[in-house]
Amino acid sequence: MIRKNAVESILAERDILISARNPFVVRFFYSFTCRENLYLVMEYLNGGDLYSLLRGLGCLGEDMARTYIAELVLALEYLHSLNVIHRDLKPDNLLISRDGHIKLTDFGLSKVGLINSTDDLSGPDVSSALVGDNQPTDAEQRAHKRQQRQKQTAVGTPDYLAPEILLGMSHGPTADWWSVGVILFEILVGIPPFNAEHPQIIFDNIMNREIPWPQVPQELSSEAYDLIDKLLIENPVQRLGATGAGETMNMIQVTLPVVMRGVLLMSKSLRPPMSTMTEVRLVA
């Protein structure tokens, strides 16, 4: 059961969920009201969300990242076909089902416009680089990224918003594709590409496209770099996905053919993240 205070927001979310029938969008059952509150009842997804998974692990390998992004693309392709723009894509809104697949949720901003999303924002402290004679192991890198993420707040960050939204300009589905690029970068690197301590710095980083790219191909594959780079184009007309979801799907199918075939066939081979999250809780 989900409780919201903004009536217009929850009504917009309800209207979208009523018509949504997709394996990668959270399932809506019914809504009801009491004297002071309005409630939505949706399916229970016990795998947590992508934000919590990243908070525990720091980052994910490219195989799992590609699978999650492929599923997100399929969800967006469906929503955009219904003329729905999500506008608030972020790891918090990607829930994980028991069988390991993601489901998109939280459509509160999809039809009621933007609200102030920069309150109570605090970013990670500036951390010194790992030093030493030897290269840090994967476990050390994962622990370092987990520490960075734990300094972040999950609420009220403009990290994922497209430039046209930040500028208050009219926007279309390509605003969602920008957010996909930010999420993919965060999954692979451990923090959002434009993250900073203050909202104004994040805004400046987005508008100036200040991206701390990892080394390619040592730390990030050229395929992942190319995909993120095309999703994070400032001009929405030139951004990957501007001509429709099929453009993005085609690029992912070229760079990630095995993963996409598995997703399109609703493969259940993805390891359920719940087992991973249980391990994280035990060592936290």
DSSP collapsed to 3 states, the chain? CEEECCHHHHHHHHHHHHHCCCCCECCEEEEEECCCCEEEEECCCCCCEHHHHHHHHCCCCHHHHHHHHHHHHHHHHHHHHCCCCCCCCCHHHEEECCCCCEEECCCCCCCCCCCCCCCCCCCCCCCCCCCCCCCCCHHHHHHHHHHHHHCCCCCCCCCCCCHHHHCCCCCCCHHHHHHHHHHHHHHHHCCCCCCCCCHHHHHHHHHCCCCCCCCCCCCCCHHHHHHHHHHCCCCCCCCCCCCCHHHHHHHHHHHCHHHHHHHHCCCCCCCCHHHHHHHHHHHC
Average pLDDT over residues 21-46: 85
Nearest CA among 221, 208, 54 for reference residue 124: 54
34-43, 64-73, 92-101, 137-146: least confident range: 137-146
pLDDT at position 2, please? 45
For residue range 51-68, what is the model confidence (pLDDT) as tens digits? 999 999 999 998 888 889
Total domain count, the chain: 1
* Cα separation, 47 vs 41, whole angstroms: 17
Asked whether residue 217 carries a pLDDT value surpassing 60, the answer given is yes
User: Residue 178 belongs to a domain with what CATH number?
Assistant: 1.10.510.10
Residue 7: pLDDT band (50, 70, 90) is: low
For residue range 129-169, what is the model confidence (pLDDT) as tens digits? 223 344 455 555 555 555 555 444 333 468 999 999 999 88
pLDDT at position 111, please? 39
Average pLDDT over residues 183-198: 95
pLDDT at position 42, please? 85
* Cα separation, 158 vs 172, whole angstroms: 18
pLDDT at position 162, please? 95
| Residues β-bridged to residue 4 | 38
Average pLDDT over residues 39-53: 90
* Cα separation, 202 vs 50, whole angstroms: 21
- Any domain includes 185: yes
pLDDT at position 147, please? 54
Range among 5-9, 40-44, 116-120, 183-187 with highest mean pLDDT value: 183-187
For residue range 220-255, what is the model confidence (pLDDT) as tens digits? 999 889 999 999 999 999 999 887 666 665 666 555
pLDDT at position 204, please? 96
- Any domain includes 160: yes
- Any domain includes 143: yes
28-32, 183-187, 221-225, 270-274: least confident range: 270-274
Q: Which two tokens stand for residue 132?
A: 């030493």
**Which range of residues forms the domain containing residue 205?**
46-283
Q: Which two tokens stand for residue 104?
A: 């998109």
pTM more than 0.75: no
| CA atoms within a 13 Å half-sphere pointing along the CA-CB vector of 108 | 15
* Cα separation, 45 vs 56, whole angstroms: 18
State percent of the chain over pLDDT 90. Answer: 35
pLDDT at position 231, please? 95
pLDDT at position 250, please? 64
Asked whether residue 3 carries a pLDDT value surpassing 90, the answer given is no
pLDDT at position 16, please? 74
- Any domain includes 214: yes
CB 267 within 8 A of CB 242: no
- Any domain includes 145: yes
pLDDT at position 138, please? 57
- Any domain includes 21: no
Catalytic residue ranges: 88
Nearest CA among 171, 76, 154 for reference residue 117: 154
- Any domain includes 17: no
pLDDT at position 9, please? 67
pLDDT at position 177, please? 94
- Any domain includes 106: yes
Asked whether residue 206 carries a pLDDT value surpassing 50, the answer given is yes
* Cα separation, 78 vs 245, whole angstroms: 9
Q: Which two tokens stand for residue 72?
A: 């997100």
